[in-house]
């Protein structure tokens, strides 16, 4: 089994885990869930870092540095704003 097929297995199984975990999130938390998940999608930052630091080819590195900026905005902003929202949720005293 090749690397691609293995990747596909991982992808499908991770989707199923995602469905299972997220179905249980109550509607009250859907906005923080979405912005938190959104921050997680900034994981593409890892790929951006590897290419941006590889020092191979001006075009590739330039595009990758752009990706580093966009993905970092997504990650840092996403987690911070989710925390800001969740701090406001409080139970009845």
Which parts of 15-74 interact with another protein (CB under 8 A)?
Answer: 15-19, 21-57, 59-74
In the complex, least distance from residue 25 CB atom to another protein, rounded to whole angstroms: 5
3-state secondary structure of 17: helix
Report the C-alpha dihedral over residues 10, 81, 74, 46, rounded to 10 degrees: -50
Which parts of 68-87 interact with another protein (CB under 8 A)?
Answer: 68-87
**Number of residues in contact with another protein, rule: CB under 8 A?**
84
Q: Does residue 1 bind another protein (CB under 8 A)?
A: no
In the complex, least distance from residue 85 CB atom to another protein, rounded to whole angstroms: 5
- Please state, in angstroms and rounded to a whole number, the distance separating the CA atoms of residues 43 and 75: 8
Please, are residues 21 and 40 in contact by the beta-carbon 8 Å criterion? no
């Amino acid at each position: 089994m090749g690397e691609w097929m293995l990747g596909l297995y991982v992808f499908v199984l991770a989707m199923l885990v995602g469905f299972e975990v997220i179905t249980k999130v109550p509607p009250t938390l859907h906005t923080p869930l979405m912005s938190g998940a959104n921050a997680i999608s900034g994981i593409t930052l890892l790929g951006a870092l590897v290419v941006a630091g590889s020092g191979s080819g001006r075009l590739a590195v330039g595009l990758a540095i752009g990706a580093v900026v966009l993905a970092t905005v997504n990650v840092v902003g996403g987690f911070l704003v989710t925390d800001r929202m969740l701090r406001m949720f409080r139970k009845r005293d």
